[in-house]
Amino acid sequence: MKPLSGQPISWFRAGTIALAMACAPVCVLWGADADVAAASITADDLMRHIRTLASDEFEGRAPGTKGEQLTVGYLTAEFQRLSLKPGNPDGTYVQAVPLVGATATDVSVSYRAGESRTDLAFPGEAVVWTKRYVPEINVSDSELVFVGYGVVAPEYGWDDFKDVDVRGKTIVILINDPPVPDPNDPLKLDDKVFKGPAMTYYGRWTYKYEIAAKQGATAAIIVHETGPAGYPWAVVEGSNSRENFDLQSADRNMSRVAVEGWIALDKARQLFAAAGQDFDQLKRAALGRDFKPVPLGAKASFRIRNMLREVASQNVIAKLEGSDPKLRNEYVLYTAHWDHLGRNTALAGDQIFNGARDNASGVATLLELAKAFRRLKTAPRRTILFLSVTAEEKGLLGAKHYAAHPLYPLARTLADFNIDSANTWGRTRDVSVIGFGQSTLEDVLRDVATARGRMLTPDAEPEKGRYYRSDHFEFARVGVPGLYLQSGVQFIGKPQEFGRQKIDAYTANDYHKVTDEIKADWDLSGAADDARLLFEVGLRVANGESYPQWKAGSEFKARREEMLKKAGEK
């Protein structure tokens, strides 16, 4: 298998030549057919879908609410209208995703340093929860231990825990992976460790809680810092202080640490100071391989009372069957999460998290992609799946469930193209590739973009670990190559800094807030351009001669090769 890559020749010619060679004169018009299909994607239709999905009537699309019913109903009706087949082999457009929701009814967090006891306000100063399905968790006077970045990475010879026993203890962890300075240039980060400035999976909060469980800790508290986390405290507070969800599991999640959470930076500093420690000094010490966990000489107590409920949620899936009898049992997948944060009745004024950009815009793109594929006179050789997943905002749960219970073999799923938040500010010369350099899908994208007079921009903030923060990651984790695009930053006819300013303002003011709504200045022409790119890239992969691959150095490459090897042995 060779990577799907080639000269930057025009997409029209490339497609025509490849198919003309592959399947006789009838296919020669394929290029024009694809152009017509791509042109069916419009900014107006994107807006029409977003207006419905992000309307107050849809109540912020929380799993298990009226918002879910309306959203699943809307998507199903749209797929039917396009005469796409049900994506579930059981003949329906849905896949059941059983969730458990836990709402904290009573939370207290405190610590003792010497004689003095300090209570931390929930959720303003500390946010804690338990992923265990139990009505109550009580932890009293658990010894606090600072474990630096809490990373165990054999490939970098890195172990923050050394042989220190943290069983029963409350570990305090820094967010992101260790920003190790380059020994030759202290102003830069060392590219040889944790991919330099880019975030690796070791930097993600999900990893921190996984390693804490592995080490046998009782509680794991991450110190929030806006830069390294990639989002402000309000996001932590908003995402975690209401109902928490997980997939239903056989062990009721008793293998997780009892208490997971975050502490605000200034409160962490106070805690360290109260214990006679210097936070900044310990943080610096955590940059070294020789760092060892530091007992803080303070003790933490937690009480969490939960109200539990089971929630039946759903992924929505449709398919366009491949036209090649030999290849139609191979799949190209598009994903976009339909869920958002719902409604918070405790808020005064606006209570609805409309999630217009996050991710009504992505779902709208998915529907426009489905329309474009349906417009083709000849369906692609391989089958295309359109999957709108639930509970992304709860921890990529819908995607995780599909990856664990795939409706079609993952070894024969060539790629996942994920859309999470489309460009809402107009046309761009470029398109941003999150997780730049991960897979050969990017080479196909580059060819297609070049033919359209556009270019690729590497993730401007690889340190925020965005590649690990949306649904394609659950597919990548099990091996399926994933491509995740976001808005470009070079807006046509706008000053250089316009793109960066828009993105930063959105992150600061609207991301995961009730104000993520359709704005007067929205212009979806750029989103339509990006959708056309995704259409053409998916079409090439679906008609291509070879499987896309992870590039050398990708943390997912070995997993894919193992999967394909196993599938080949069957």
Question: Closer to Zn ion at the Cβ: 381 or 472?
Answer: 472
Does residue 368 bind Zn ion (CB under 5 A)? no
CA–centroid distance for 109 within its chain: 29
Rounded to whole angstroms, the Cα distance separating 9 from 451 reads: 7
Closest CB 494 distance from Zn ion, rounded Å: 25
Closest CB 89 distance from Zn ion, rounded Å: 28
- Please select the residue that binds Zn ion; options are 59, 177, 358, 529, rule is CB under 5 A: 358
Q: Dump the DSSP string for 256-278.
A: S-SEEEEE-HHHHHHHHHHTT--
- Please select the residue that binds Zn ion; options are 420, 463, 471, 474, rule is CB under 5 A: 420
Question: In this chain, which stretch among 75-83, 231-239, 415-423, 488-496 interacts with Zn ion, using CB under 5 A?
Answer: 415-423
Question: In this chain, which stretch among 100-108, 273-281, 359-367, 372-380 interacts with Zn ion, using CB under 5 A?
Answer: 359-367
Question: In this chain, which stretch among 211-219, 374-382, 413-421, 546-554 interacts with Zn ion, using CB under 5 A?
Answer: 413-421
Question: Closer to Zn ion at the Cβ: 359 or 440?
Answer: 359
Does residue 359 bind Zn ion (CB under 5 A)? yes
Closest CB 158 distance from Zn ion, rounded Å: 31
Q: Which residues contact 84 (CB under 8 A, 6 or more apart)?
A: 318, 319, 320, 370, 374, 386
Question: Closer to Zn ion at the Cβ: 253 or 359?
Answer: 359
Question: Closer to Zn ion at the Cβ: 19 or 391?
Answer: 391
Q: Which residues contact 436 (CB under 8 A, 6 or more apart)?
A: 442, 456, 458, 459, 462
The full 3-state SS of 73-89, as one line of letters, equals HHHHHHHHHCCCEECCC
Does residue 487 bind Zn ion (CB under 5 A)? no
Question: In this chain, which stretch among 137-145, 227-235, 353-361, 474-482 interacts with Zn ion, using CB under 5 A?
Answer: 353-361
Count of residues of this chain found to bind Zn ion when the rule CB under 5 A is applied: 3
Task: Please give the structure tokens belonging to residue 91.
Answer: 């003949």
Closest CB 63 distance from Zn ion, rounded Å: 14
Closest CB 541 distance from Zn ion, rounded Å: 23
Closest CB 231 distance from Zn ion, rounded Å: 12
Interaxial angle between packed helices 30-39 and 361-375, expressed in degrees from 0 to 180 and rounded to the nearest 10? 150
Question: Closer to Zn ion at the Cβ: 239 or 241?
Answer: 239
The helix (run of H) or strand (run of E) holding residue 140 is: strand 136-146
Q: Dump the DSSP string for 300-335.
A: EEEEEEEEEEEEEEEEEEEEE--S-TTTTTSEEEEE
158 HSE (CA, 13 A, CB side): 20
Q: Which of 485, 369, 434, 362 is nearest to 61 (CA)?
A: 362
Task: Please give the structure tokens belonging to residue 243.
Answer: 């109902």
Closest CB 421 distance from Zn ion, rounded Å: 6
Question: Closer to Zn ion at the Cβ: 380 or 526?
Answer: 526
Question: Closer to Zn ion at the Cβ: 40 or 206?
Answer: 206
Q: Determine how many CB atoms are found less than 10 A away from the CB of residue 123.
A: 23
Rounded to whole angstroms, the Cα distance separating 95 from 313 reads: 9
Question: Closer to Zn ion at the Cβ: 149 or 484?
Answer: 484
Closest CB 418 distance from Zn ion, rounded Å: 10
Task: Please give the structure tokens belonging to residue 16.
Answer: 């025509």
The helix (run of H) or strand (run of E) holding residue 375 is: helix 361-375
Q: Which residues bind Zn ion (CB under 5 A)?
A: 358-359, 420
